[in-house]
């Protein structure tokens, strides 16, 4: 069925139609939520809450890209969760999950790596996650959308509801802050990123 018809059906209260949208976008939304919240259980809850809110409010969807609309809802859910963690003073400086419970991002893995290289990749992955925790929710969402999810500036601007210039500014500042956090493990960074001094994370990291 054409997606526009699925959306129209969902707007009339058809749960099966809405579930088709859930199946289409849940993996990408979960990937974004994991990078934002640093915990798979929290990410799963955030995605579930975002879809519940989306179902309740899908009547307000007025056209455009449905994934942008869904990601805007997820953004707000993640922001609220990060604020709750900050208020409760339980936001850790280290990842909330063990290495053996979290897949190393695809861009950090190489099946030809020896054990030393694999350990370095895992350490770099942990360092990046810890560095992301130091960013404000707005900066973290921006760098997640552009550098992790592979969104164009214009797409990120639509999702965040800000001008493209704001996206570029936030991204530049987020990368700068993240680079400062990663200086302590510069020996783990690929040479291309150490030499460039401007980009910390590969563009368009495949969604996991």
Q: What are the extents of the domains in the chain?
A: 1-91, 99-208
C-beta separation of 162 from 77 below 8 A: no
pTM higher than the cut 0.75 = no
- Can you give the pLDDT at residue 177? 84
pLDDT of residue 186 exceeding 70? no
What does the mean pLDDT of the chain come to? 76
What is the Cα–Cα distance from 57 to 11, expressed in whole angstroms? 9
pLDDT of residue 87 exceeding 80? no
Q: Which CATH class is domain 99-208?
A: mainly alpha
- Can you give the pLDDT at residue 20? 94
- For the domain covering 1-91, report its CATH number: 1.10.1740.10
- Can you give the pLDDT at residue 205? 39
Q: Per-residue pLDDT averaged across 15-35, rounded? A: 93
Q: Do 1-91 and 99-208 fold alike per CATH?
A: no
pLDDT of residue 196 exceeding 70? no
């Amino acid at each position: 069925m054409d997606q526009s018809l699925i959306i129209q059906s969902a707007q009339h209260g058809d749960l099966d139609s809405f579930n088709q949208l859930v199946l289409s976008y849940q993996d990408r939304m979960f990937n974004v939520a994991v990078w934002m919240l640093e915990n798979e259980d929290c990410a799963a809850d955030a995605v579930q809450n975002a879809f519940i809110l989306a179902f309740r409010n899908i009547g307000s969807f007025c056209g455009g890209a449905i994934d942008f609309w869904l990601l805007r809802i997820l953004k707000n859910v993640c922001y609220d969760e990060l604020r709750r963690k900050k208020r409760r003073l339980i936001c850790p400086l280290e990842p909330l999950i063990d290495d053996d419970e979290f897949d190393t991002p695809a861009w950090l893995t190489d099946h030809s790596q020896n054990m030393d290289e694999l350990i370095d990749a895992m350490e770099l992955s942990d360092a990046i996650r810890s560095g992301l925790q130091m960013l404000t929710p707005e900066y973290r969402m921006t760098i997640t959308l552009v550098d992790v999810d592979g969104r164009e500036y214009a797409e990120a601007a639509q999702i965040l509801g800000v001008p493209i210039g704001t996206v570029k500014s936030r991204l530049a500042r987020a990368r700068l802050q993240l680079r400062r956090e990663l200086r302590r493990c510069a020996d783990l960074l690929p040479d291309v990123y150490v030499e460039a001094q401007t980009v910390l994370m590969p563009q368009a990291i495949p969604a996991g």
